[in-house]
Amino acid sequence: QPDLVERLISVDISPVSTAPVSEFSAYISAMKSVKIPDGLPRSAARQLADDQLRPVVQLPQLRQFLLTNLVEVEGRYVWRVNLEAISHHLADIMNFPVFHKPYPGPALFLGGSNSPYISSKDYPEIQRLFPKADVQYIEGAGHIVHQDKFEEFITAVLSFLPPP
């Protein structure tokens, strides 16, 4: 229902399957294998989880982002996100549904220059489905664009939106 959408912003994802470039499966496995003894203070638990994730999730910013999902429940540390459901449905999550009718409105595909999730090989499909699309990259940002380069992200988003 494109008439319900005035403008579209896609942040570091394109309308193609991203499974071939995704390390998410390894990240989920690493998160599942984190072991934290009960009763630790939050800071110690986060540091222990950070240490255990480090061999697989090498980027510190990405580890910190994942660790935002580590929560204490009744004295135990658990992941807020449903890792089992995500791991069982990762292929569905990483695929883009097939659409035949393009979205006619303005679209911004905003990627991180250090991320593989929007590549030049995706441009034909972006243009097919989003003929008014503009593809931009934020220099020095990875997949979590808003965390890596917050000010540049906000500037790009505000530039795309109509003035108030």
* pLDDT tens, N- to C-terminus, the chain (164 residues): 888 999 999 999 999 876 655 688 899 999 999 999 998 999 999 999 999 999 999 989 889 989 999 999 998 999 999 999 999 988 888 788 888 889 999 999 999 999 988 999 999 999 999 999 999 999 999 988 998 999 999 999 999 999 88
Picking from 164, 128, 161, the residue whose alpha carbon sits closest to that of residue 6 is 161
What per-residue confidence (pLDDT) applies to 95? Answer: 80
pLDDT of residue 97: 81
Domains located in the chain, CATH noted: 2-16+97-160 (3.40.50.1820), 21-91 (no CATH)
pTM listed for this prediction: 0.73
* pLDDT for res 96: 80
For 113, counting Cβ atoms within 10 Å of its Cβ (0-12 exposed, 13-18 middle, 19+ buried), the class is middle
Residue 30: alpha-carbon gap to chain centroid: 17
CA dist., res. 146 & res. 89, Å (int): 25
Tokens (6 digits) for 7: 């403008």
Structure tokens at 94: 């990483």
Distance (Å, whole) CA 17 – CA 96: 6
Are the C-beta atoms of residues 143 and 21 closer than 8 Å to each other? no
